[in-house]
Amino acid sequence: MSTEQSESAPSAVTETKAAPSAVTAPQVETKAAPAGDTTRKATTPAATTQHVKNPKHVAAGKMVAERSRLAREEQKKAAEAYYAEKQAEAARVAPDTKEKSPNSGGLSANQWIAIGGVGVFLLGIYYKREELMAMAKPVFDKFKTPKPAPEPASVEPKPALDTRPRGLKNDLNVCA
């Protein structure tokens, strides 16, 4: 592009502005530079066309959004109904559990059965104690083997034992 063309079409030429700095200072436009200045750029005016949306796509997006909204509302209603049902059920069950709670002093049927089972087991051992002792006697006799007779004591006196404390010495023992 020649310099005559750039001077004849000033609307097609854009001028550069000073770069913004960290400190906000008033920005100054540069004046028209001489014809030999390379900082100016020539641009062609671009035709601006407005984007036209496809009406079918817009309608489909609206339909999907409406379906999502309705599904969210249905899910919310279902959750509220479920929560209300659980609350009502808990309110019905709560008085029954208070009457049969183990803290009220009574034992449950399973607890009574367990106590009875332990009692029967102990009674069985009591009545069969003679048989059990007869079966266990040979086993215990193996452990009760006679020990060999100790050798006669020697006539020599034993050396006196050293009764001094062993290990680290305390400062108190050193002074004493």
Give the model's pLDDT for residue 36.
58
Q: Output the six-digit token pair for 95.
A: 């008085």
Domains of the chain by residue range = 55-97
Supply the pLDDT for residue 34: 55
DSSP states of 16-60 as a string?
Answer: -BPPP-SS-----BPPPPPTT-SS-EE-PPPPP-PPPPPHHHHHH
H, E, C per residue of 51-80: CCCCHHHHHHHHHHHHHHHHHHHHHHHHHH
pLDDT of residue 13: 45
Structure tokens at 15: 């001028």
CA angle in degrees (0–180, nearest 5) for 144-146-152: 145
N- to C-terminal Cα distance for the chain? Answer: 115
pLDDT at 1: 47
Tell me the Ramachandran region of residue 64: left when phi exceeds 0, alpha when psi lies from -120 to 50, beta otherwise: alpha
Q: Is the backbone of residue 167 left (phi > 0), alpha (psi -120 to 50) or beta?
A: left
Give the C-alpha distances (Å, rounded to integers) separating 42 from 17, 19, 49, 82, 174. 15, 19, 21, 69, 105
Nearest Cα to 1, choosing from 41, 29, 30? 41
- DSSP class of residue 172? H
Give average pLDDT by consecutive 10-residue segment, the chain, 176 residues: 49 48 54 58 70 94 97 96 92 64 73 95 91 85 70 70 68 54
- The one-letter amino acid at 103: N
